[in-house]
Amino acid sequence: MREINPLNVFVQYRDIVKPCDPLIGRKYTITHSDTTADLFVFVASNYADDKITDIRDEVRVAWEQHEKELILIGSVTVSGYGVEGNANIRNSIFYKEMPIALQALRLADRFLFDNMPKLDDTPIFIHFISSSPVYNKMYDFGTIGDYK
């Protein structure tokens, strides 16, 4: 797995969200700059819709309680829903670059993980949303601690 440069990761806490709380309801919007390779992680009680472009290359992730355990559940839009571009190419790029986005999330919200180290055991599931059944899938990306 390729490692990111921490100097290229920027975090912004919004709304009532602070570096260590709340956990449930905490949402991440991860975007990037194609020109600078900077990664931007917005941590809030809502997704940062104001940072989403027409390209729709953002990653959205949220903490959820699932039965007796916490999970990180997210999504990316591969095709359909007004998204232009080749679904196969978009799917491949999202899958290949997801570890980078998850590293950025883990790094950006490191105070939360330092405060509650057990959270590193949280499983991550990302739904690749597509109007085509070929690409409309849920992927298991391990645990967030895999991206330290």
What tens digit of pLDDT does each residue of 56-112 get? 889 999 999 988 999 999 999 999 878 888 999 999 999 999 999 999 999 999 999
Distance of CA 65 to the CA centre of its chain: 17
This model's pTM is above 0.85:
yes
- Give the pLDDT band (50/70/90) at residue 5: very high
Q: Is CATH 1.10.3470 the right assignment for the domain spanning 6-147? A: no
Residues 21-54: tens digit of each pLDDT:
999 999 999 999 989 989 999 999 999 999 988 7
What are the φ/ψ torsions at residue 103 (nearest 5 degrees)? -60, -40
